Amino acid sequence: MANFLPNKPYSLIGNVVVLRLVYNRGAAFGILQGKTFFLIFVGIIFLIFFLVWIARARFSWKELGFLGMILGGALSNLYDRIFLGAVVDYIDLRFWPIFNLSDTFISLGCLFLLIGYFKQAKCKRKVLE
């Protein structure tokens, strides 16, 4: 990304997936613009609670992998925010706000956890019936 110019599009897959360097000084979807200190504070508090929750609960290896995806993405975005003052976003799908790979890992980790919990709940209901 060091050679990319801010906001200049670089076609990756035609006009569908474009790389476009953007510095997001806000949170998801650009909300809370310029509230960097607040977002760093909230991010650190979230990570502390998240790590305590992981340490106290019992998770399968698969669940720990998904939680690791969330944790890795959150740490990466927090690193950007602390050391750059903004999160570096670069994936532009043209129909969605520009995001980065860390956001993708957070979203997929959450999605996979939810799917797993719904599957477990469905299995438990069948056993109880």
2 pLDDT above the threshold of 70: no
Whole-number pLDDT of residue 10? 87
What pLDDT, on the 0 to 100 scale, is given for residue 28?
Answer: 87
For the stretch 42-51, pLDDT in tens is 999 999 999 9
Task: Indicate the average pLDDT of the chain.
Answer: 90
Residues annotated as part of the active site? 89, 103
Q: Residue 107's pLDDT is what?
A: 97
Q: Is 106 exposed, middle or buried (0-12, 13-18, 19+ CB in 10 A)?
A: buried
Domain boundaries, the chain: 16-128
